[in-house]
Amino acid sequence: MNESIRTFIAVAIPEAVKREVLAAQDRLRKQVGAEKKVRWSPPEQLHLTLRFLGNVPAGEIESLIAQVQQSAAEAEPFELQVSGVGCFPSFANPRVIWAGIHGDLPRLIELQKQIETRTAEVGEPPEKRDYKPHLTLGRVKAESLAELRHIGLTTREYKIPASSSWRVEEVEIIRSDLSPSGSTYTTLSHVRLG
């Protein structure tokens, strides 16, 4: 049986920026208060996903890396910053709590589009929705309307301070292994931009 590898392509968040985001996440967690109602993202899961591929046959990983290298070669490094919070699909029905990404978004979006186009035949089909760059801070487990309303309202009123900006100079191809205690990530390849 051929092994398949659960894979995604992402921009890593530098440790200094991650510390700022985690401090903001912790303050929001205390304000939301519903500890069992939100599964908060641990530090190792904070990254900016460019494309989720799902299960990729192990034999296709080298080809995938080459496709990402082609996309990255055409992209210049750029600056990003974490700022603002929101909820998917909405504050009224929060299922995912996220932190926004700002900075040189045209370059980020162009890189994401190139990667998506070049890897369209690999793994899951590309998303139909427009790409919305974000960091997932937490996944909402609450079910009752009152709890959802509280989480959404608290998140909407929360003012996350803008993080330091950082220079994106590479993307990573990451393996995700699922377990009852959560996902474990292993970087398969670092791909430089430009």
The catalytic site residues sit at: 47, 134
Token pair in block for residue 134 = 């974000």
Judge contact between 77 and 42, C-beta under 8 A: no
CA separation for the pair 38, 192 (Å, rounded): 35
| Closest C-alpha to 7, from 115, 96, 87 | 115
Q: Is 154 exposed, middle or buried (0-12, 13-18, 19+ CB in 10 A)?
A: middle
CA separation for the pair 61, 88 (Å, rounded): 31
* 3-state secondary structure at position 152: helix
